[in-house]
Amino acid sequence: MKKQYYLIIGLVLIIFGGAFYWYELRPYFGKKECYKRAEMWRQAAITADNAASVSGSLTKRADYEKIFADDYAVCLMQKGLK
């Protein structure tokens, strides 16, 4: 009888642990990774634009934010979060 209680409690913990991972931790880490990736691409665009500023082609801040937003959205879709 006591063995059945331990088995049921263990099974419930595994189910709730899996649900917590799937609905809380996985999206959190995915969004965190996508944010870092999008920020990296935005910084790369800024750096490339600063290198090209000698020729006079400066990108506006709104363009950098669009680069960030677009890459962030694409990354979320690739991870199945959006």
CA dihedral (29, 30, 31, 35) in degrees, to 10, reads 100
Quote the pTM value: 0.75
Across 1-82, the runs of DSSP E, i.e. the strands, are none
How many structural domains does the chain have? 1
Give CA–CA dist 72/64, Å, rounded: 12
Domain with 74, as residue range(s), is 2-78
Q: Two tokens at 19?
A: 């649900």
Q: What is the pLDDT of residue 2?
A: 85
pLDDT higher than 90, residue 30: yes
Packing angle, helices 61-78 and 26-52, rounded to 10: 150
pLDDT higher than 70, residue 52: no
